[in-house]
Amino acid sequence: MNERIRCLREEIGLSRAAFGQKIGVSGDVINNLERGRVDIKEPMIKLICSEFSINEEWLRNGTGNMKVQTVSDTMEQLKKEFNLDNFGYNLVYQYLKLDADQRKSVRDFFYNVVDSEMLDEDLYGEVPKTPEELEEQFPPVKPDQEDAG
């Protein structure tokens, strides 16, 4: 466990003093823990795991992943995998924060707005793709033409 504490500290790039400060002890205490001069007590294990999102099983026995997968980690993974912009990221995050009944209400609202048959259609098939195509279909109106109409 001593070696894993050192490994963790080095991986997150903290000095012994900075690591200790995060969990409320001095750098000397961390030095003694890493060198095996003192036993690592239960409260210290809990503090380290809590503060740094560390898998307790890994810290105690070296099994499993070092880091606990957090909601932030999962959201960042989704953002990368699906190339989400900030709006998409926030939309997914806010939706997931809703309780089950609220999510059901959002889904029901969505399906009422977008008829299920429309989901299979190309909703934007006839929409001009460029400003030039838009102006060709709908030429700009000149100010003197407005008065004549």
**H-helix segments, 1-137:** 2-11, 16-23, 27-34, 42-52, 56-61, 71-81, 86-97, 100-113, 131-137
Those residues with Cβ within 8 angstroms of residue 28's Cβ, 6 or more apart along the chain or in another chain = 16, 20
Whether the full predicted model's pTM is greater than 0.85, yes or no, is: no
Q: Residue holding tokens 């095996």? A: 36
**For the chain, which ranges sit under pLDDT 70?**
115-125, 145-149
50, 76: one domain:
no
The total number of structural domains that make up the chain:
2
- Is residue 131 assigned to a domain? no
| pLDDT of amino acid 11 | 93
- Is residue 137 assigned to a domain? no
Containing structural domain, residue 106: 71-112
| pLDDT of amino acid 145 | 59
| pLDDT of amino acid 122 | 61
| pLDDT of amino acid 146 | 56
Of the residues 19, 38, 61, which one is the last residue of a structural domain? 61
